[in-house]
Structure 1
Amino acid sequence: MDDASLPVFSLPENILQPLLTASNSSTLEKALKILIDVSRSPDGRSDLAFKNVLPTVLLLCQNLCYPSASHLLFLSLKLLRNLCAGEAANQKSFIEENGVKIVLHVLNFVGFTSDSDYVITRMALQVLANVSLAGEDHQRAIWHQFFPLKFVEIARVQKRETCDPLCMVIYACCTGSHELIDGLSGDQGLPVMAEILQTTSAVGFGEDWFKLLLSIICLEENQFPQLFSKLCPLDNSGNCKSVQPRGAFVSEQAFLLNVLSKILNERLGDVFVSNDFALCVLDLLRKATGVVDSVSRRKSGLPTGSTVVDVLGYSLTILRDICSCDGLGGFKEGGSVDVVDSLLSSGLLELLLRLLHDLEPPAMIRKAMKQGENQERTTYSAKLCLYEGFRRDIVAVIGNCAYRRKRVQDEIRQRNGILLLLQQCVIDEDNPYLREWGIWSVRNLLEGNAENQKVVAELELQGSVDVPEIAGLGLRVEVDEKTRRAKLVNVS
């Protein structure tokens, strides 16, 4: 496209001529492309700031709001983005020349009906993101014009190309501002986050800004329960519908748990987890186990395509990582409340042991049972693994809870869970790394606990337990050939 096809000569001279002069070119399109190249470097941006180019480009954007000028509008926004990339003079000029309102005017004009609109919207948001990095005054100027209604409108566009930079703008504005973070975490801000979640669950996200926002809202500001509830279906009056037991969750809620699980796993030991967050996840695990269908075996891992199973699975992986931080001193709330202790006091271990006990034994154990002398007396639950790795995830949470916690070690013994955990020290094709997690759990179960070691040493070897697997712990079971009783000894 060239200038001949556009009514560029209707542009005022005070807009067109400075750009042609600064670029030493004869057409507007060439001028913009040359200035874009110049503005890629710090020296180039500084020189263009000295020539006061930015106010002219803002005026140009205002005068290009007609359909046939979309290409030139895109180039103008790209130049603005470059000019505001770390150049304080240009960032200041942008605010002084009412640049935020001009960008808002551009976004209101282009709408969201075509691919070219999305490209322009993305570039406009990148302009705002660069401006927001200049400080609190710039952030407030953007926030005042865009929060919450325009943020919501852009969030509803189900395009990754617009959602990623939107998250970048919101995160850049909020960083370091308690007031803006409070706004995003409040009644006006949570609908923005809910719309962003609706979009990212449908189209995904390509950059980490979304995860950084979720970390602030759900973990730092402890608004996870409120955001989770805003994702439920709405009735005609805008209120959350009452849900039937088997429709207790929606896919967006499972997606939220999935992303939070990844955040915790990636930032293990580096992110704060509140007592309320942990207990809320435990409550979701309880609710999911109450409605889940455990009749059919699913061969896939998470996500499974079943919302309730995904909620259950991601709740387990979140609890696994919360409990794993006990070795680093645990998550503390207010410096005193141990989050893992709160989970245990709320019945986490009892729930996990019940879930594990209700499952049919691993395939290797079932085979041993069938070959055993007392096959006719062997009975076990017929409940199947809900997804590939379900058993492993349960064992992983138990193993992490048992790490240097005598209370947990004793409770497992008192609930007759030692043999149950020994049975998990096997290879199982439906549960990758089950053996490794089983050995880790038994190791934690026995460490420093004479009572538990005695129970294992006195176990009568049965086909239902492959006791030699604990050799991986540096232990060995010696068996009396006459009594068939075993004792636990150190390999060394």
Structure 2
Amino acid sequence: MAVADVRALAEQLGCASRAYGLPGAALSTGCLETVQQLSRLFREMLPREMAEESIFQNLLAILMKTSSEIELACKDSCESVNVDMDLLLIAECFRCLRNACVRCAKNQHIIRNLQFIDVSVHLIQLLHGLENEQELLLTAFRCSLQFLGNLAAGNGDSQNSIWKCAFPDLFLTCLNHHDVKIIAYCCMVLFTCLNSEKVRELLEQKNLNVALAVLKVYRKQLESEWSITLLELIMAKVSEKNEVTSEELAGLLKQADFLASCFQEKCQTVLRLTSAAKNEDEEALVTIRLLDVLCEMTSNNRQLEHLQTCPGLLETAVDILQLTHLAGKQATNVFTATHSVTGEGEISHPAVGFKSHLIRLIGNLCYKNKENQDKVYLLDGIPLILDNCSIDDNNPFVNQWAVYAIRNLTERNKRNQALIARMEQQGLADNSILENMGLEIEKRDEKLLLKSKKKPSSGTTK
């Protein structure tokens, strides 16, 4: 039955595609109804697999005719041109194509070879140019992107073809659209097409606006998982040990500025994670990944030097460390220091390690930087870091990162050294922590000095 239905509709579609555009509303309506029937039929696997190339040729002919009508409407903006039927047909053709591509490599191959991608990208740009905010236009726009997403799914050749036609202009057009569904579908297409080579292209200086546009979605759409995905890709890129070109470095520095500003703006969202019901808060999850990326970026000397001068970043890191530390003391939550004697029961929570990474970032930003060392002193950040030195299952390696941060804070900084020495004498700093850092307190001329411990002499060195 499905085979007969497909063949019958294929014949009807051929007649309808030839008749579409001729005078008479009934012809257009008949064309729309035929495409709608095909769309419904293509929800099933067997009809999809039975579809012949002629069906897609006729759908292409309809799209090209509607494209001409839309183009005419864009040019004659001073006149009121009714394109409602064109928009209905565009939406239904893309629905039909979208359904035809689901788990069907044969149809993906045919559709790609018929140059649907070029026609679709051109049509999407035309839709964007229409000064029309009605739902019909938005629906056609959304369906076109859904089609491209399904065409790309699991098909490397289609992914490459879409990328070639759509990057960067079409992605920028859609990412900056006001409609949240259009933005989400655009992100779906973008990330479906990405591979390691395209990630490098995405993060080049000349294409950085696309990456930044995805991250700006995070500011507008708090439930966008694409921002987290992109941050994962950026982190993988900045973690590479390969030498970067001057152009790549310029792109990374521009990213660093933007990511730092995002972190400063959104960092307090992690406090929502004090509630067990909020442990999947999308905004807080993105903030956690932002911190991870900033830690990686500040582990690279050239990016570190740039971020050390980023206005407000260090202050924000100290402030949010203070807030999370207080939140953990005021009630039992993920920011509360815990320690299991047995070491059993791995803690699974998105905020695990957040305070460790904050301390790591502070330590990085203070590396051989006197101005930042002094800022942390004035912000009372040193006692705060020392107060986070205990073993904490919620923050693996927090002790090690605190040791690292204190070492960077006290390097060639006598005031910071003196502060820690006074704290130790007053019992405010754990002497064992200082010992782990290779430091000890020495009293000289009524002054307390923090100095490196002498290593015991031995016959070998390592």
Q: Is the shorter-chain TM-score for this pair beyond 0.5, marking a shared fold?
A: yes
Give the distance between the partners of 2:271 and 2:326, measured in 1 at CA: 18
Question: Residue 357 of structure 1 aligns with which residue?
Answer: 322
- Which of 106, 116, 119 in structure 2 is aligned with 1:120? 106
- Which of 259, 273, 291 in structure 1 is aligned with 2:233? 259
1:332-371 map, 5 Å: 339-343=306-310, 346-360=311-325
Whether 1:330 aligns to 2:330 is: no
Report the alpha carbon displacement of residue 387 of structure 1 after superposing the two structures with TM: 1.0
Give the distance between the partners of 2:424 and 2:447, measured in 1 at CA: 6
Question: Residue 150 of structure 2 aligns with which residue?
Answer: 157
Give the distance between the partners of 1:298 and 1:406, measured in 2 at CA: 40
1:63-462 map, 5 Å: 68=50, 111-113=97-99, 118-120=104-106, 123=109, 145=119, 147=121, 149=123, 152-157=145-150, 160-162=153-155, 165-171=157-163, 173=164, 183=169, 186-187=172-173, 195-198=185-188, 207-208=195-196, 211-212=199-200, 214-216=202-204, 220-229=207-216, 248-266=222-240, 270=244, 271-272=248-249, 273=251, 276-294=254-272, 296=274, 305-325=280-300, 327=301, 329-330=302-303, 339-343=306-310, 346-360=311-325, 385=335, 387-461=351-425
Q: 1:123 to 1:67 in 2, by over 3 A?
A: closer
Give the distance between the partners of 1:206 and 1:186, measured in 2 at CA: 15
Give the distance between the partners of 2:274 and 2:442, measured in 1 at CA: 40
Provide Cα deviations, 1:330-371, integer angstroms capped at 9, x if missing partner.
Answer: 37xxxxxx631442xx211111111111233799xx8xxxxx
Q: 1:416 to 1:161 in 2, by over 3 A?
A: same
Report the alpha carbon displacement of residue 461 of structure 1 after superposing the two structures with TM: 4.7
Provide Cα deviations, 1:90-142, integer angstroms capped at 9, x if missing partner.
Answer: xxxxxxxxxxxxxxxxx9899343677532355569989xxxxxxxxxxxx99
Q: Whose helix proportion is higher, 1 or 2?
A: 2
Whether 1:491 aligns to 2:454 is: yes
Which structure 1 residue ranges, 5 or more long, are not aligned?
Answer: 1-6, 8-64, 72-106, 129-140, 175-179, 233-242, 332-337, 367-379
Q: 1:391 to 1:268 in 2, by over 3 A?
A: farther
Report the alpha carbon displacement of residue 395 of structure 1 after superposing the two structures with TM: 1.1
| Paired AA for residue 155 in structure 1 | L
Give the distance between the partners of 2:453 and 2:282, measured in 1 at CA: 46
| Paired AA for residue 428 in structure 1 | D
Q: Secondary structure at the match of 2:150?
A: coil
**Identity over aligned residues, as a percent?**
16
Give the distance between the partners of 2:428 and 2:353, measured in 1 at CA: 21
TM (norm. structure 1) is 0.53
Provide Cα deviations, 1:3-53, integer angstroms capped at 9, x if missing partner.
Answer: xxxx9xxxxxxxxxxxxxxxxxxxxxxxxxxxxxxxxxxxxxxxxxxxxxx
Give the distance between the partners of 1:184 and 1:195, measured in 2 at CA: 12
Give the distance between the partners of 2:100 and 2:199, measured in 1 at CA: 27
Q: Please report the RMSD computed on the Cα atoms of aligned residues, expressed in angstroms.
A: 4.7
Q: Secondary structure at the match of 1:157?
A: helix
Give the distance between the partners of 1:282 and 1:112, measured in 2 at CA: 39
Q: 1:452 to 1:381 in 2, by over 3 A?
A: farther
Which shows bigger deviation, 110-119 or 445-454?
110-119
Which shows bigger deviation, 429-438 or 270-279?
270-279
CA contact (8 A) 1:390 1:431 kept: yes
CA contact (8 A) 1:396 1:441 kept: yes
Give the distance between the partners of 1:125 and 1:477, measured in 2 at CA: 73
CA contact (8 A) 2:356 2:396 kept: yes
Q: 1:461 to 1:388 in 2, by over 3 A?
A: farther
Q: 1:113 to 1:145 in 2, by over 3 A?
A: closer
* Residues paired across the two proteins, number: 329
Q: 1:429 to 1:196 in 2, by over 3 A?
A: same
Give the distance between the partners of 2:372 and 2:100, measured in 1 at CA: 58
CA contact (8 A) 1:459 1:486 kept: no
Report the alpha carbon displacement of residue 284 of structure 1 after superposing the two structures with TM: 2.2
Provide Cα deviations, 1:300-351, integer angstroms capped at 9, x if missing partner.
Answer: 9xxx5210111211121122222222x2x337xxxxxx631442xx211111
CA contact (8 A) 2:176 2:183 kept: yes
CA contact (8 A) 1:148 1:189 kept: no
| Paired AA for residue 228 in structure 1 | L
Q: Secondary structure at the match of 2:394?
A: coil
| Paired AA for residue 168 in structure 1 | N
CA contact (8 A) 1:298 1:387 kept: no
| Paired AA for residue 121 in structure 2 | F
| Paired AA for residue 319 in structure 1 | L
TM (norm. structure 2) is 0.56
Give the distance between the partners of 1:469 and 1:126, measured in 2 at CA: 64
Q: Secondary structure at the match of 1:488?
A: strand
Question: Residue 469 of structure 1 aligns with which residue?
Answer: 433
Report the alpha carbon displacement of residue 428 of structure 1 after superposing the two structures with TM: 1.5
Provide Cα deviations, 1:371-423, integer angstroms capped at 9, x if missing partner.
Answer: xxxxxxxxx79885371111012112111111121111121122222222233
Give the distance between the partners of 2:103 and 2:368, measured in 1 at CA: 57
